[in-house]
Each structure stands twice: as C-alpha cells, then as structure tokens.
Amino acid sequence: MCRVTAPGTRDRPAADACPGITRPFAAADGAIVRVRPGGRPVPVAALQGLLEIVAGQEDPTLQLTSRAALQLRGLPDPVPADVRDAITATGLVPSPAHELVRNVLASPLSGLDGAGRCDVRPLVRDLDAAICADPALAALPGRFLLVVDDGRGDVVRESFDVGLLALDAGRAALLVGSPDRGFVVDLEDAAAEMVGVARQFLAARAALAPAAWHVREVLEHLDPPRLDVTLPPAPPRPVGPVAGHAVVGVPLGLLTRRHVDTLSRLTDEVVVTPWRSLVVPGGAAALDPLEDAGLVVAPGSRWLRLHACTGAPGCARTAVDTRRIARALAPALPPGTLPVHVSGCERRCGAPASGFVDVLAPTSVTEAIAAASDPTPPSPDPSEDR
Ligand code: SF4
C-alpha cells in the first residue's frame, strides 16, 4: 500500500511526549505527570489528594495547564506504584488506558451563568464516557483536542481537532479540524458524532499518515463539507463574581495548599479553566477569603498579566529561578496591557500565544523590572506548559 506523509509530519515520531501517569516526562527535577479532568468539574478532595503527593517538595504546587489539566512535577523517576495509585485514587483517572487522550475543553461557566445557548455539562459527561468506553480511542495522539463551546465563543477558538459550537438549545455545529468545515448535529447526538470523527481520524491516520497528530493533517482525506458558521465574538475572560459564582485567578497558574484549603471550606468542586483560573460555584459571596488565600478576585490584578516558565531548578536549560523572580516582580510590575512572560531561555515555554513583554533570562529582579518596562514583544514560540 502506498503511504503518504502529511505535511509537517515527516520527521516527527508517531508518539507525542504529552505526559501522564502511564508516560511521565523526565525533567531535571524528576518526573512530570499530567492529570486530565476531561472537561468535567474537579472535586476539591481530588485537588487535596494531588497536593498530598507533592507535599514534601520545595515548591509543592499543582500547575494548571493551557488545556485545563493539572500537572504534578518533581516526582520520583520512575514514578513508584504507590504514587500512581494515589493519583488514581483521586478519581481523576477513570480509565487508565485513556488517561492521555481525555483532552476536552468545555465552556467553564456553561450551565452556571446563563450566558451560553445551552448547558453543555451533560454533553461533556457523555463525551468523556464515550471516549473512555472505546478501547480504540486510547490510540489518539495526546495532542488531539476536543472542544465544546456552549455558544458564547470562549473555547471555540482554541486549536481544536474536533469542535462543537452550540447554535441554539437543540443544535450545534460540529467542526472538523477547522471552523469552516463540518456539519450541523442535534445536541443529543453530539457526543456520539464527535467520537465518530475521532475514529475517522484514527482510520485516516493509519492509512495515510501514521505520524499525524491532528485532524488538519489528514483533512483532505476526511473531506468534511464546507460549513458557513459565524463564530461569536470572543468574550472577555471573567475574573471575580459571575452570577453568584466566582472566577478566581491562580497566580502563575500554580495552585497551593493554602488555595485548596480555602476552597475546601467553600465548595465540593471547582471547574478548571484553560486560562489559569478556577470557577468556584456559589463563590461570589466568599471573595474575601478567596483573596486572603492568595487567589485573584479582581480583573485589574497584576498577577493576571504575569507568566513564567518552569525555570530552575525544574528545567536543566537554565540557572534562572523564573518563578522566584516572577513572584518578586509581581508587586513592582510596571503598568501596561500586554502580558509579561519571564523565561529562563529562548524557548520561552508557556508564553502567551499573542503579543507579550519578553523578560528573557533575567539575572535579578531589578533586571526583570527593566525588561518588563520594555513593551517590545518578541515573536512567540509557545509550547504547552512544561
Ligand atoms: S523556557 Fe527554557 S528554561 Fe524555561 S522551561 Fe522552557 S526550556 Fe526551560
């Protein structure tokens, strides 16, 4: 059989390196494991369980990733069985075989604030269950992304492989690798239809491009119909009270024991967003304790502009402790509108996808402040948070 290599896949291994329990990533400070909520709310007890696992570390935090996953680092390498068991015991790994592929982003406030065209939470539960029920889907690449947007336009612009955009309370546009390719489905059939496209991708990948990670790499083979859908304007990302709930920013995307202990007194579960924040159901009445715990409750906070890569000691590519410098930089951050990203080297991991102020390998906080005052953005080369 003739095999063709899709554009961009020629020198790429078939397997991606996205980490999980079954495939930790070895970093300078130990193993990295990513836990995927599958687009569903996360019990606060599960966050407490994950924090117990990293409790003895110098920086015992959980990192929120740009795909709304939770990342633990500094674990023993190889990861011991009792650590794997403790992660599984949180309930966040419903199917070990599918733990790398439950990459689902859903509108975080859907069903809570009345702003979408429908409540997608039941659909997301069905989608996650359908993925976990199909052994074949465990072969999806770890970078394959499914998004479910309730019509407000907040996640449909993510770089999805299969997207769903609610059109009204009963119908949705199922988008195949691109916002202008796909078809309209009934919402009650949407989970099954999305899983069907994922299966078609796997078949096309096997036949044409074994190293493909994304639908767009085999789009011409799948040949979904043209679809004329107008994406809603991207809404602002809320921080603070929303319809009786709270959206709280997590400084540098690092969730601490103090944060989670406070959350445990307010709610049983939270929704992790892809934007370094959490939705706290019913939390609007508790902004003060949330702020006291170090979470961000107002849109003007400097923390919302500040980003940092992992840096030293976790990353061997630098001697710069980027997180320490970023924490010291926060109270002195010069005014501005662009995000500020502190990187330990020119890779600039985790940098915002759009323009940002580049604080590259600062050797001191003073140097970081000076660089943060320079509004000249670099050409970003972001990668997922590692
Ligand atoms: S930007 Fe450089 S120093 Fe920072 S995490 Fe990436 S590779 Fe490491």
CA dihedral 45, 47, 48, 50 (to 10 degrees): 130
Q: How far apart are CA 22 and CA 63, in angstroms?
A: 19
Expressed in angstroms and rounded, the spacing between residue 160 Cα and the centre of ligand 1 is 25
Protein residue with least CA distance to atom 2, ligand 1: 345
Backbone angles phi, psi at 375, to 5 degrees: -80, 5
The two tokens of residue 382 are 């972001």
73 alpha carbon – ligand 1 mean position (Å):
14
Q: How far is the CA of 344 from the centre of ligand 1 (A)?
A: 5
Question: Strand, helix or coil at 269?
Answer: strand
Q: Ligand 1 within 6 A of 362 CB?
A: no
More confident residue, 265 or 8: 265
The phi-psi region of residue 116 (left if phi > 0; otherwise alpha if psi is between -120 and 50; otherwise beta) is beta
The residues near 345 (Cβ < 8 Å, ≥ 6 apart) are: 317, 318, 360, 361
289 confidence band (pLDDT: 50, 70, 90): very high
Residue 277's CB is within 10 A of a number of other CB atoms, namely 25
Q: In which band, very low, low, confident or very high, does the pLDDT at 381 lie, cut at 50, 70 and 90?
A: very low
The answer to whether the CB of 217 falls within 8 A of the CB of 209 is yes
Q: Is the CB of 317 under 6 A from ligand 1?
A: yes
What is the band of 350 on the pLDDT scale with cuts at 50, 70, 90?
confident
Other Cβ atoms less than 10 A from the Cβ of 133: the count is: 11
3-state SS, residue 320: coil
- Does the CB atom of residue 344 touch ligand 1 within 6 A? yes
User: Residue 59: its pLDDT value, please?
Assistant: 84
Q: Of the residues 341, 343, 385, which should be mutated to test ligand 1's pocket, given the most ligand atoms within 8 Å of the CB?
A: 343
Helix (H, G, I), strand (E, B) or coil at 306: strand
Question: What's the fold here for domain 240-298?
Answer: Alpha-Beta Plaits (3.30.70)
Phi, psi of 201 (to 5 degrees): -60, -45
Residue of higher predicted confidence among 241 and 376: 241
User: Ligand 1: which residue has its CA nearest to atom 8?
Assistant: 315
Identify which of 32, 347, 360, 384 to mutate to test ligand 1's pocket (most ligand atoms within 8 A of the CB).
347
pLDDT above 90 for 83: yes
Q: 291 Cβ partners below 8 Å, 6+ apart?
A: 297
Which of 11-25, 125-139, 210-224 is predicted least confidently?
Answer: 11-25
The dihedrals phi and psi of 249, each to the nearest 5 degrees, come to: -80, 145
Are 26 and 73 within 8 A, CB to CB? no
Distance from the alpha carbon of residue 382 to the mean position of ligand 1, in angstroms: 11
Ligand 1 centroid–CA 315 distance in Å is 6
- CA dist., res. 335 & res. 19, Å (int): 36
Task: Report whether residue 345 contacts ligand 1, using a CB cutoff of 6 Å.
Answer: yes
**Substitution site in 254, 325, 349, 385 for ligand 1 pocket (most atoms within 8 Å of beta carbon):** 349
What pLDDT sits at residue 9?
Answer: 57
Q: Whose CA is nearest to atom 6 of ligand 1?
A: 349
Contact yes or no for 188/127 (Cβ under 8 A): no
Q: Which of 12, 11, 14 is nearest to 202 (CA)?
A: 14
Question: Is pLDDT of 8 > 60?
Answer: no
Sorted by where each begins, the domain ranges of the chain are 104-222, 240-298, 303-372
Task: Determine which helix (DSSP H) or strand (DSSP E) holds 128, and give its type and residue range.
Answer: helix 121-133
Mean of pLDDT over the chain: 92
Closest by CA to 144, choosing from 101, 178, 105, is 101
Are 44 and 260 spatial neighbours (Cβ–Cβ below 8 Å)? yes
- In angstroms, the CA 326 to CA 247 distance is 22
Using 50, 70 and 90 to split pLDDT, how confident is the model at 58? confident
Distance in angstroms (rounded) separating the CA atoms of residues 74 and 76? 7
Distances from the Cα of 286 to the Cα of 47, 243, 256, 289, angstroms:
19, 13, 18, 6
The span from the CA of 33 to the CA of 18, in Å, is 9
Task: Note the pLDDT tens digit of each residue in 17-26.
Answer: 899 999 999 9
pLDDT (0 to 100) of residue 281: 98
Check for a shared fold between 104-222 and 240-298: no
Question: What is the tens place of the pLDDT at every residue in 244-261?
Answer: 999 999 999 999 999 999
pLDDT at 377: 53
pLDDT at 352: 85
Query: Quick check: CB of 63 below 6 Å from ligand 1?
Result: no
Q: Give pLDDT tens digits for 332-345.
A: 998 888 999 999 99
- Can you tell me which atom of ligand 1 is nearest the CA of 347? 1
- Burial state string for 139-154 with b = 16 or more CB within 10 A and e = fewer than 16: bbbbbbbbbbbbbbbb
State whether the beta carbon of 347 lies less than 6 angstroms from ligand 1. Answer: yes
Q: Which mutation among 71, 320, 345, 346 tests ligand 1's pocket best, with the greatest number of atoms within 8 A of CB? A: 345
104-222 homologous superfamily? Sulfite Reductase Hemoprotein, domain 1 (3.30.413.10)
pLDDT value, residue 4: 36
Q: Which atom of ligand 1 is nearest to the CA of 383?
A: 6
